[in-house]
Amino acid sequence: CKMPHGGPPCERCQSRRLKCHVDKNAQSILEEANRLRGSLTGQVSQLQTAVNILLRMSRLPPLASYPSSTNPEDDMTQTSDDLAGEADETLPLAPILTPVAPEEDSLYALPINSLYEATRLPALRNPTNPETQTRTAVSDFISRGALTEAAAQQLLLLFKNRLNYFCYGILCPHDTLYSLRSSSRLLTAAICTVASLHDPDASAMFKVCHAEFLRLVSSSMFSVSYSCDDLRALIVGAYWLGNVSYTLLGHAIRIAMRLNHHLAYFSVIENPGNEGSLERARLWYCLYIMDHHSSILYGRPALISPKEEAHQQWERFIELNGHVEVDLRMSSQVALYHIIAKVKDVFGGYSHKTIPAHCFAQLLSFLGELDRWYMIWGDRMPRNAHVGWFPRDGAILHYHFARLHLCSYIFRSMSLESAATASPQVRDFASVAVTSATSVLELVLERDDLRTALVGMPIYFHGMITFAAVFLTKATKNNFWELTTIDTPKVYTLLQRYVSELRSQKAARQHLVYHVSNGLDDMMRASRKLTEEASGIPDLGSLEQPQMMLTMDSMFDMNTFDLLQESISQDMNTAVDQGDEWQNQYETWPE
């Protein structure tokens, strides 16, 4: 409408002599709406800025991290681009974690605390304490129907009443399945996985539980919200699952450090009655022991230093807590690896570096320290109601493991020529190695609680027992380069008895005992054949026999899983028509 006078009537109504009623047209409504929207946008932006400033001053998460709608349908209308944009806005400018210690007005502070104090970036902070979180409804692979509740209950009982006590009884503090599931989905999956591995009727369940456990570990890899039960789950996996043991152990150690478990010992010393500090200290000691187990098995450096006060004052820790069994068992291991760590510091980890003759006396002194350790701890462990005399017999096994491991240093880079001119000290160490390896197999076969523990004991025990068996098998091939006497018939008898014992065990088909028995049997047959062929040849070290030209390093190779890979390769040739079933049987082994 045209209004020449600036108001009604308009030209059209005036020419027709009509009353002129002024109303808003579509264009004016749109313009007014745009003005209002612009005004509201500015006001909302001001409010967001003010709220973010207040949240930042209060050390709370930014406004964008809070849900913007209570209506699920509204959330469904957001596109992936919108969600990505919002996610980018909620991320901090740098990955700053929470302070590792309370902030104090002090000149001394950790660098990361100063960086956090200056930036106040809260996106990676835990919104709540995981220990105090409660769930009104449990949502896990059991509630989804992947595993029945009855089966999960049975697996929990197996773990809680037996397997848990192979790891000092500290990995399952829950009495009911509901309590376990409410506390940690990760620990639930870990316990079900390991328990099904030790149940002869649970091979199919193991596949389901194992897949769920790996899925949960992978999805939580970058989480900063871990509870003690989540840490226990990583320990459970590292203790019994060979295919992921090394990876899980490293991750568990880093998580424990983030949670300050490495400082829990000092809290126990200051306040012995604090159950929370005692729990964290024991978990840290468990990780320390497993770390040194892994270091020996793989020949890699340990992640945790043995020189810290917490790793040297084991007797004080025992006394503060009343000489209970769990602390005796763990402290015996801490004391043992205090000796082994000194050996590694002196002789290094490079397997091709020969030990000079002037170091033989020092190596002998370490053997003396092991003897003193055995005198202190060999008969100090009480009987356990769930695993019998395994704590005591296990300590004796550790003694022989350590002696065999210690003797392996003397044979680094030894050749056939140098073995022929070996000194009496070297021959003495060779004799100790054979005696220790033989004692390992004899002890396992003679002690009832060790035989029944073959299904239940952790990866480290199986690795070291297998190491002793493989060493004796290889030594019989060439009469140990005549460094010491080998009772070949006795060795074969021990090996055959051990293989038979492994095959008599009952566990899921994925369990280690079946693979070790097959691998040892194949190696023993090959060794016997070679020994028979060489029996009529006067010079067992002849260069014309390349099969017998083992290096001494290969005899003492600490990668005990080579045996399993060898055995699996042979089994694979006979299982090519079985499809994925073969892979399922061996899915717990490292590549």
**Domain parsing of the chain, residue ranges:** 1-64, 130-258, 367-585
Compare 449 and 53 and report the one with higher pLDDT.
Answer: 449
Q: For 527-580, give the DSSP string.
A: HHHHHHHHTT-S-TT-TT-GGG---HHHHT-S-THHHHHHHHHHHHHT-GGGTH
Least confident among 84-93, 153-162, 221-230, 570-579: 570-579
Torsion angles phi and psi, residue 398, rounded to 5: -60, -35
Q: Which amino acid is at 566?
A: E
Q: Report the pLDDT value the prediction gives residue 60, as an integer from 0 to 100.
A: 66
Q: What is the mean pLDDT of residues 252-270?
A: 93
Per-residue pLDDT band for 233 (boundaries 50, 70, 90) equals very high
Task: Return the amino acid letter for 453.
Answer: A
Taking only the tens place, the pLDDT of each residue in 264-318 is: 999 999 888 889 999 999 999 999 999 999 999 998 899 999 888 888 888 888 8
pLDDT score of 387 more than 50: yes
**Looking at the predicted structure, is the pLDDT value of residue 150 above 70?**
yes
C-alpha 507: how far from chain center:
22
173 closest CA partner among 248, 257, 230, 258 = 230
Q: Is 80 exceeded by the pLDDT of residue 539? A: no
Question: At 412, is the pLDDT very low, low, confident or very high (cuts 50, 70, 90)?
Answer: confident
Q: State the pLDDT confidence band at 155, using cuts at 50, 70 and 90.
A: very high
Q: What is the pLDDT of residues 557-584, one digit of tens each?
A: 444 444 444 443 343 333 333 333 333 4
The residues near 159 (Cβ < 8 Å, ≥ 6 apart) are: 172, 191, 194, 195
Least confident of 113-127, 176-190, 301-315, 382-396: 113-127
Q: Which residue has the higher pLDDT, 84 or 389?
A: 389
Give the Cα separation of 201 and 180 in Å (integer). 23
Q: Which amino acid is at 242?
A: G
Task: Say if residues 512 and 198 touch (Cβ distance below 8 Å).
Answer: no
The structure tokens 């704590």 sit at 391
Distance, in Å, from the CA atom of 402 to the CA atom of 409, rounded to the nearest integer, reads: 12
Range from 129-143, 163-177, 433-447, 566-580 carrying the lowest mean pLDDT: 566-580
Tell me which of 137-146, 315-324, 514-523, 527-536 is least confident: 527-536
Q: Tell me the pLDDT tens digit for each residue of 75-131.
A: 434 444 444 444 444 444 444 444 454 555 666 666 766 766 676 655 444 444 454
Is the per-residue pLDDT at 408 higher than 90? no
pLDDT at 120: 63
Q: For the chain, what percent of residues have pLDDT higher than 90?
A: 47
Band the pLDDT of 29: cuts 50, 70, 90: low
How much is the pTM?
0.75
DSSP one-letter code for 356: P
Q: What is the mean pLDDT of the chain?
A: 79
Mean pLDDT within 35-44: 78
- Place 553 in a pLDDT band, splitting at 50, 70 and 90: very low
> What was the pLDDT predicted at 96?
44
- Does the pLDDT at position 421 exceed 80? no
Distance (Å, rounded) from C-alpha 187 to C-alpha 229? Answer: 6
Q: What is the largest CA-CA distance in the chain?
A: 137
Beta-carbon neighbour count of residue 516 at 10 Å? Answer: 25
Range in 191-205, 379-393, 440-454, 520-534 the model is least confident about:
520-534
Who wins on pLDDT, 291 or 419? 291
Coarse DSSP helix, strand, coil percentages of the chain, rounded to the nearest 5 percent: 65, 0, 35
